[in-house]
Amino acid sequence: MLDRPNPAPEAPCLDPFALAKALSGVHFIGGRYVPARSGRNFAVVNPATGEAVAEAADGDAADVEAAVAEAARAQKEWARVPARKRGALVHKAAALIREHVEELSRLVALETGKALRTESRVEANNVADIFEFFGGLGGELKGETVPFSPEVLDITVREPLGVVGAIIPWNIPMMLMALKAAPAIVAGNSIVVKSAEEAPLAVLRIVELMNRVLPAGVFNILSGQGPECGAPLVEHPLVKKVTFTGSVETGKIIYRAAAEKLIPVTLELGGKSPMIVFADCDFEKTVQGALTSMRFTRQGQSCTAASRIFVERPIYERFVAEMARRVDAMVMGDPLDEKTDIGTIISPGQFEKVRGFIEEGKATAGATGRACSAMPSDPALRKGLFIQPHIFTGLGTESRLVREEIFGPVTVVFPFDDAEAVLAAANDTEFGLAASVWTNNLRIALDFAHRIEAGLVQVNQNLVVQPNLSYGGVKASGLGKEASLESMLEHFTHKKTIMVNMA
């Protein structure tokens, strides 16, 4: 038997270690927990201690085949459910997620190393919010009447695409899954998610919770490696849409594979987001905004992290000093401890990558790297993947720290004197995901907002992705939009024209 009884508790479980073990070694396909067809698993490691806390099913093409077959079967019936009823079911499932927010917060903190208070609990609440938001949009799947001829009734209707394949990363796995799954499902599609190898547990639990309300097969999830599990999902002939968040390199591979099938894709591929600070800004608010913008509480592991900060020269030295002082006051420690502000890097590979960037920056002539916050003193965390946040000054614009996405707690701060020059510097990147401008001059703010090459520009704030606000990049940051009604209509349905000759 491939399937087994539900191994996880029905009620919320606030012991993340116990829940992690209960969720070990399974996918969720067709309304059931099932192990990998191969019988293979891989370890899920707590990055704060280096200890394995669970195993995840190591999926391959056989698991993909089973999941897509279930999704294709379920989608035909799901598409016949009235759109508002589909939305109502998703909204009902969101209420169940709300009941499990604390459980999910602790579980994702355990597997990702993100601090419970500052990051993981916020993400879990956002997930419920996203499903609630899209659950209310079922009635917006509207068509149009088109003036063509008095004798011909010409209308358009929105129809689902079919089976959606979604591949998600590890930095905010629950939230990014929700941004893909919620609009896809409400629009009448079914979905197969491939979770990140480093963070498969909390998303698995969410899919199981959603399946208590949704028909079996509408929402499925696999764990596994990219080439063995992700690639077969993208290439499967019954997958009619792929949505992916991750690296530029992997995004290009997925785009090429999707092109062979001529299916639509949504790609969110990262950024090197500029933060531009003018001397007339609200200084206190803007310094605090820099900490938020850099996502230091997420260890900088964010596509929208303000990893390039440009500060007008009259306040530059003061700004850098105050920013460093405030980061220095943040507490690094056990992600499950309520006192912790900053947790860990996700994996040894990412740890070495970030550390390599820091060492390269420190070795650069004329550069200064300020290490902030104190490493944890708890002996139980000595093997944890903790890295002090670093604020670099004195680097040239051709430095790798300035050009490449680090995905760690590292930012580079520059002084500027000329508005046009700083705008050119901000746009001098292959990426174009997000940016922020900090000034009390509305004319400058709007001018820069229009001319910065980014999909999302915020003035005097830098919030994370919010439901109902269109989100997506330009240039190498990707294709398509997420988080909005637009994303559901344009990326998870196709428009059919129907003409009725009444003559």
Catalytic residues: 268
Cα–Cα distance measured from residue 287 to residue 360, given in angstroms and rounded to the nearest whole number? 26
Helices (H), 38-151: 61-80, 83-99, 101-112, 121-135
Amino acid at 13: C
**HSE-up of residue 495 (Cα within 13 Å, Cβ side):** 13
- Rounded to the nearest angstrom, the gap between the alpha carbon of residue 64 and the centroid of all alpha carbons in its chain is 22
Cα–Cα distance measured from residue 239 to residue 232, given in angstroms and rounded to the nearest whole number? 10
CB 172 within 8 A of CB 123: yes
From the list 55, 1, 51, the residue with the least C-alpha distance to 23 is 55
List, in sequence order, every residue forming a beta bridge with 456; answer none if it has no partner.
434
Written as six digits, the tokens of 469 are 């606000």
DSSP structure class, residue 216: T
Cα–Cα distance measured from residue 88 to residue 467, given in angstroms and rounded to the nearest whole number? 17
DSSP structure class, residue 380: G
Q: Which residues contact 12 (CB under 8 A, 6 or more apart)?
A: 99, 100, 102, 103
Region of 168 please: left (phi>0), alpha (psi -120 to 50) or beta: beta
End-to-end Cα distance, the chain:
60
Cα–Cα distance measured from residue 262 to residue 347, given in angstroms and rounded to the nearest whole number? 35
Residue 4's CB is within 10 A of a number of other CB atoms, namely 12
Cα–Cα distance measured from residue 10 to residue 103, given in angstroms and rounded to the nearest whole number? 12
Annotate 423-488 with DSSP letters as a single string: HHHHH-SS--SEEEEE-S-HHHHHHHHHHS-SSEEEES------TTS-B--SGGGEES-BSSHHHH
List, in sequence order, every residue forming a beta bridge with 57; answer none if it has no partner.
41
DSSP helix/strand/coil, 172: coil
DSSP structure class, residue 367: -
